[in-house]
Amino acid sequence: MFRFFGVGLALLASSAAFAQTSGIPPEEMNNTRRLAGDSINVCFDMTSLGRPFDEDVAKAIGDALFLQVNVVEGFGGFPVNGDGFMDELTLAMNNTCDMFMGVSVSANSPFSEAFALTRPYATIPFVLAVTDPEWQSLAEIPKDRKLGTAMSSLGEMNYITWSQQQPEAERWVRFPYADYNKMATRVLDGTIAGMILWQPAMAQLQAERPEAAALRVIANDPLPPASVRVGALVSSRNAFLRSQVDQAIDALAADGTIDALMEKHRYQGNAGE
């Protein structure tokens, strides 16, 4: 999995790769039923960008349901095309996890019927970051300057879809990056004019790199907005858990808990849908 997003967010990239689940040896699957009691096993991608935020949300959900959250690190480190992800996810959800945090919640999410998606607990945008103090929107960047995009991301696909509908003279040349740190370096040194990336990546850059304070977010116009609705995954066999988690998410969005967690992690966007 590439490093831009939570593990589930990469599912936007290539559903064909994720549909292949036949690589799991039958002896690896544990078909005994777990007794939940007053606890819940919550799994995370150990390399996910949104991992700390997702854990905070999971604990808030657990508190709302009077459940002890057992944190399970899960797995991570998949290639950009997501090869192997669905096998690992199926194995984890069958053997260990009651809930897997940080997945993209959309109507066309490429999951099998064995899984069910919760309501989104946050909607977080892709942003355009630049250093030039004069630019207020993408439209003001000269067409002879180049842009960087987070490889295989919704933000990149949004730009590609838009650019294909424009005359060549009205497009910016795009460089895809699999590493948002390197992309930021190229914005800071002037190689590219700006970069389109998921906003939590921007927040992490500015938290970890002092020179990234020079980066500023400007409007995406004329691009249409692009956001990821982030939720969780549960087993489709556990309709009761999904219903309870959905109710908890609604309550935490309504009372400001998730907004407070987004502010803590310096995330833009909004709680819930």
At residue 173, the pLDDT reads 96
For residue range 106-124, list pLDDT tens digits in order: 766 666 677 899 999 999 9
Query: In whole angstroms, what is the distance from residue 182 CA to residue 188 CA?
Result: 10
| Contact between residue 76 and residue 46 where contact means Cβ atoms under 8 Å apart | yes
CA distances to 3, 29, 117, 233, 269 from 253, rounded to whole Å, are 27, 36, 17, 18, 12
Q: Are residues 119 and 18 in the same domain?
A: yes
Flag whether 2 is in a domain.
no
Q: What is the pTM of this model?
A: 0.83
Q: What is the pLDDT of residue 92?
A: 77
| Mean pLDDT score, 243-250 | 96
- Given a cut of 70, whether residue 7 has pLDDT beyond it is no
For the segment 34-82, what is each residue's pLDDT rounded down to a tens digit?
A: 555 689 999 988 778 899 999 999 999 999 999 999 998 776 666 555 5
**106 and 16 within one domain:** yes
Same domain, 77 and 197: no
Least reliable range by pLDDT among 19-28, 100-109, 197-206, 237-246: 19-28
Contact at 8 Å (CB) between 229 and 105?
yes
Structure tokens given for 227? 């956001």
Mean local confidence (pLDDT), 121-149: 97
Residue 93: predicted pLDDT: 81
pLDDT given at position 81: 52
Tell me whether residue 232 is in a domain: yes
Domain encompassing residue 92: 9-123+228-271
**Mean pLDDT computed over 140-152:** 96
Does residue 73 form part of some domain?
A: yes
Token pair recorded at residue 24: 């799991």
Position 232 scores a pLDDT of 95
Looking at 218, 237, 253, which one is the last position of a domain? Answer: 218
Residues 94 and 213 in one domain: no
Say yes or no: 29 and 163 in one domain: no
Give the chain's domain count: 2
- Which pLDDT belongs to residue 214? 97
- Is 223 a domain residue? no
46 vs 142 pLDDT, higher one: 142
Question: Is 171 part of any domain?
Answer: yes
Lowest mean pLDDT segment, chosen from 7-11, 127-131, 235-239: 7-11
Domain end (from 197, 218, 239): 218
Residue 85 lies in a domain: yes
Q: Which of 177, 193, 218 is the last residue of a domain?
A: 218
Confidence of residue 13 (pLDDT cuts 50, 70, 90): very low
Are both 93 and 16 inside the same structural domain?
A: yes
Query: In angstroms, rounded to a whole number, what is the distance separating the alpha carbons of residues 37 and 95?
Result: 17
The confidence score (pLDDT) of residue 259 equals 97
Looking up residue 35, the CATH number of its domain turns out to be 3.40.190.10
Which of 216, 203, 209 is closest to 185 using CA atoms? 209
Are 251 and 160 contained in the same domain? no
User: Up-side HSE of residue 53: CA atoms within 13 Å toward CB?
Assistant: 32
CA distance 195 to 202: 10
pLDDT, tens digit, 9 for 90 and up, residues 254-271: 999 999 999 999 999 999
In this structure, are 118 and 155 located in the same domain? no
3-state SS track over the chain: CCCCCCCEHHHHCCHHHHCCCCCCCHHHCCCCCCCCCCEEEEECCCCCCCHHHHHHHHHHHHHHCCCEEEEECCCCCCCCCCCCHHHHHHHHHHHCCCEEEEEECCCCCCCCCCEEECCCCEEEEEEEEECCCCCCEHHHCCCCCEEEEECCCHHHHHHHHHHCCCCHHHCCEEEEECCHHHHHHHHHCCCCCEEEEEHHHHHHHHHHCHHHHHCEEEECCCCCCCEEEEEEEEECCCHHHHHHHHHHHHHHHHCCHHHHHHHHCCCCCEECC
Question: Do residues 15 and 104 both lie within one domain?
Answer: yes
Least confident interval from 26-30, 102-106, 134-138: 26-30
Residue 239 lies inside a defined structural domain of this protein: yes
Same domain, 119 and 16: yes
In a domain, 174, yes or no: yes
**How many Å apart are CA 124 and CA 98, to the nearest integer?**
24
| Domain shared by 18 and 117, yes or no | yes
Residue 18 has pLDDT above 50, yes or no: no
When mean pLDDT is compared across 74-78, 123-127, 135-139, 201-205, the lowest value belongs to: 74-78
Same domain? 171 vs 201: yes
